[in-house]
Amino acid sequence: MTETSRKDESLRRRLIELTRDLIIIPSTRDRPEDIQRCMEFVVNHVELPNELTVRRFCEKGSPSTVILPRNVSAPEVLLLAHLDVVARPQGAAYHSSVNDGRIYGPGSGDMKGELAILLEIFRDFHERCSGISLGLAVTSDEENGGNHGTRFLFEKVGLRCGVAIIPDSGSLNEIAIEEKGILHLKLKAHGSSGHASRPWLAENPLEKLISKLTEVRNYFETLKSADGHWHPTFAVTVMQTENRVSNRIPSFAEAVCDVRFPPPYSSNQVISQLKRFMEHKMELEVLVSAEPTKVSPDPLFLTATEEITQKPVTLIREHGGSDARFICGYGIPVIMSRPYVGNLHAENEWIDIASMETLYHIYQRYFEKKLRPGDR
């Protein structure tokens, strides 16, 4: 075995082990103690030589940690990740397996595998190049909107950096530069309950809600464009009443909808449009609101990606959203690429191991160009 292949083998093993150790902690929103445990694990993993400063925050119950070189408040490069994962259906196990060159498990692709890469490279560079201007921020409420994580850190704490790296969007050679805006809305309908054998005596809020949702869906159909689904979309994700019996008409019903929209639409514009559909005894509540994002990645990173992969880079649009939206407003370039992943937020979520190693090497090449550790 050559020195290089021994190094590669050891990197692969470390990335797999660390990802699997992170997956086994069910760090979902409904388990705050596991979020906390996962954060401890992350901080402990980044062995802290004396020259690093660890700052911990807890905004509205969501912990975040920022690790910076001592005496540096705005690092040249800041690595960002979230450790929260979306909850799986009840009874699902937070286990992982390695198969066909992939790590399978809840949160493997979004984004515990990516977090493992960041932790490894952060530790490696700080061990080898003391004082390098490289920071790390780990948050825990991205899947819930990011307000108490990345937004809090940039808006309230005043965190700044030269370039931000968030491997939570795009692909290896497809670097995301635009993301749609997001609205999570709750539609509520009130009515009057009654026996289902005499529906004419009741005002059924569930049926009112269904017909309203159809109207809204028809409206979104009119906004379609032929441009790769780069138009507003609408999906009903939750629908519920307090009713538990089949022969009773409920007095209240609600639905949660997920709306995604590209520029030039804005969240206020979409909300006021939807408000026009609301009738008497109906309400619209905004749960999450985020504007569309446009970021500019560092050209040096594009070069590093092309050198390592030997393939051209394309700049793409993403339908999903990420924490980049809280950063790009400060004029900070954001880099969004990630390994090959699949089935995010669903059963059999996976991350491809070889592409994790490739991204690690891309970061390595980029830091060498950007931070010039050899000049120290």
Residues interacting with Zn ion, by CB under 5 A?
110-111, 168
d(CA 223, CA 263): 13
Q: Per the structure block, which two tokens stand in for 345?
A: 């937020």
The letter for the amino acid at 18 is L
139 vs 358, beta carbon nearer Zn ion: 139
| Least separation in angstroms between CB 111 and Zn ion | 5
Q: Per the structure block, which two tokens stand in for 296?
A: 């500019």
d(CA 37, CA 312): 40
DSSP 4: H
Query: CA torsion sign, 160 to 165 to 170 to 174?
Result: positive
CB atoms within 10 A of CB 167: 24
The letter for the amino acid at 165 is I
| Least separation in angstroms between CB 69 and Zn ion | 26
| Least separation in angstroms between CB 268 and Zn ion | 25
| Least separation in angstroms between CB 320 and Zn ion | 8
Q: Is 229 left (phi over 0), alpha (psi -120 to 50) or beta?
A: left
| Least separation in angstroms between CB 120 and Zn ion | 19
d(CA 306, CA 329): 27
179 vs 298, beta carbon nearer Zn ion: 179
110 vs 179, beta carbon nearer Zn ion: 110
| Least separation in angstroms between CB 311 and Zn ion | 25
The answer to whether the beta carbons of residues 277 and 212 sit under 8 Å apart is yes
d(CA 148, CA 156): 10
168 vs 349, beta carbon nearer Zn ion: 168
207 vs 258, beta carbon nearer Zn ion: 258
111 vs 182, beta carbon nearer Zn ion: 111
Find all residues with CB under 8 Å of 343, minimum gap 6, and list them: 109, 349, 350
| Least separation in angstroms between CB 11 and Zn ion | 23
169 vs 251, beta carbon nearer Zn ion: 169
67 vs 111, beta carbon nearer Zn ion: 111
| Least separation in angstroms between CB 166 and Zn ion | 9
| Least separation in angstroms between CB 136 and Zn ion | 16
The residue assigned the tokens 């009130």 is 190
254 vs 318, beta carbon nearer Zn ion: 318
Phi, psi of 286 (to 5 degrees): -90, 120
> Is 98 in a helix, a strand, or coil?
strand
The answer to whether the beta carbons of residues 147 and 289 sit under 8 Å apart is no
d(CA 299, CA 313): 11
